[in-house]
């Protein structure tokens, strides 16, 4: 599942733009324009130039946050971690920085460190429903369902209508193999979201596959193929669909692709074995 995303432009827009490209604000102006033109590498360099010009500027903490987001988008994960960490010191919104760093740490498989960040977020803001949900996911990674469910209950107690509360309910239904109830939640989320995340369709497709509603699953997977092409579980689900259609050759290709992308090798091999 994808973690917290924020607009790259949001903190940058608090600055007045300058026509003088060699000034602090001028470099920020250039970074905004580069982002608008999807030149993220140039935008990152522009932010670094601004901070080099004025290393003591109080706004550098905001620039470091944006720099970290850009670096993460560019795949420079180690640099992004350094930028997020450096941003924490004087950032007016440390919770936002911690969310971004925790999300990055989860992507890197550094779950214990991510747990520390979510603990810090909850310490600063006990009403942060997303932090409870994310921490619950990390407890599940540790096979600690009791602690995960405790966090999911805190989601419910804090804000029963929150998106992350709904996601936590759907996850519990899935863990209990109650795929029909889980599907209803994902459908509600999709129907009430202005721009539904592809992960919602992926999760609903999983529910459809596990309740033998293969045509609906196929429609959801087809809708998100472009966004989820690097997600190994997408290929597991599509492979299961193709296996049901007796297309063993295509199913095997999907299962092998999932394994190549990092899906658990033992589980992938079990699915591959069904195609022989």
- Number of folded domains that form the chain: 2
Q: Where are the alpha helices (DSSP H) in the chain?
A: 24-36, 40-53, 60-73, 77-88, 94-107, 111-124, 129-141, 145-158, 163-175, 179-192, 198-209, 214-223, 232-244, 248-260, 265-273
Ramachandran angles phi, psi of 226, nearest 5°: -65, -40
Check whether residue 112 and residue 130 sit in a common domain. no
Q: Which of 81, 99, 117 is the last residue of a domain?
A: 117
Tens of pLDDT along the chain (276 residues) come to 333 333 344 444 444 444 456 899 999 999 999 999 999 999 999 999 999 999 999 999 999 999 999 999 999 999 999 999 999 988 999 999 999 999 999 999 999 999 999 999 999 999 999 999 999 999 999 999 999 999 999 999 999 999 999 999 999 999 999 999 999 999 999 999 999 999 999 999 999 999 999 999 999 999 999 999 999 999 999 999 999 999 999 999 999 999 999 999 999 999 999 999
Check whether residue 104 and residue 133 sit in a common domain. no
pLDDT at 3: 35
Check whether residue 14 and residue 73 sit in a common domain. yes
- Choose among 112, 40, 115: nearest CA to 79: 40
Check whether residue 113 and residue 142 sit in a common domain. no
Most distant CA pair in the chain, distance: 66
Check whether residue 38 and residue 111 sit in a common domain. yes
Check whether residue 89 and residue 16 sit in a common domain. yes
Q: Give the domain range for residue 26.
A: 1-117
pLDDT at 21: 60
- Choose among 276, 261, 206, 192: nearest CA to 231: 261
261 Cβ contact partners less than 8 Å away, ≥ 6 residues apart: 230, 231, 232, 235
Q: 3-state class of 75 per DSSP? A: coil
Check whether residue 94 and residue 21 sit in a common domain. yes
Instruction: Say if CB 128 and CB 121 are below 8 A apart.
Output: yes
Ramachandran angles phi, psi of 218, nearest 5°: -60, -40
Check whether residue 73 and residue 131 sit in a common domain. no
What pTM does this model have?
Answer: 0.86
Q: Which of 99, 117, 135 is the last residue of a domain?
A: 117
């Amino acid at each position: 599942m994808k973690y917290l995303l924020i607009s790259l432009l949001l903190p940058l827009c608090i600055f007045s733009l300058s026509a003088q490209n060699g000034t602090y604000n001028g470099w920020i102006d250039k970074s905004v324009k580069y982002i608008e033109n999807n030149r993220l590498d140039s935008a990152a360099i522009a932010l670094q130039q601004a901070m080099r010009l004025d290393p003591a500027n109080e706004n550098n903490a905001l620039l470091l946050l944006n720099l970290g987001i850009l670096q993460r988008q560019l795949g420079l994960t180690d640099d992004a971690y350094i930028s997020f960490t450096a941003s924490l010191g004087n950032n007016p919104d440390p919770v936002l920085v911690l969310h971004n760093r925790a999300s990055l740490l989860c992507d890197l498989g550094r779950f214990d460190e991510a747990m520390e960040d979510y603990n810090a977020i909850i310490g600063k803001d006990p009403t942060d429903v997303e932090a409870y949900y994310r921490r619950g996911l990390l407890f599940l990674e540790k096979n600690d369902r009791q602690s995960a469910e405790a966090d999911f209950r805190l989601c419910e107690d804090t804000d029963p209508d929150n998106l992350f509360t709904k996601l936590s309910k759907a996850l519990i239904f899935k863990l209990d193999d109650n795929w029909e109830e889980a599907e209803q939640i994902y459908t509600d989320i999709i129907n009430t979201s202005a721009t539904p995340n592809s992960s919602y369709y992926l999760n609903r497709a999983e529910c459809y596959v596990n309740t033998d509603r293969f045509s609906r699953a196929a429609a959801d997977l087809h809708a998100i193929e472009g966004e989820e092409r690097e997600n190994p579980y997408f290929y597991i689900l599509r492979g299961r669909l193709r296996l049901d259609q007796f297309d063993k050759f295509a199913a095997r290709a999907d299962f092998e692709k999932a394994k190549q992308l990092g899906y658990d090798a033992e589980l992938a091999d079990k699915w591959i074995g069904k195609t022989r």
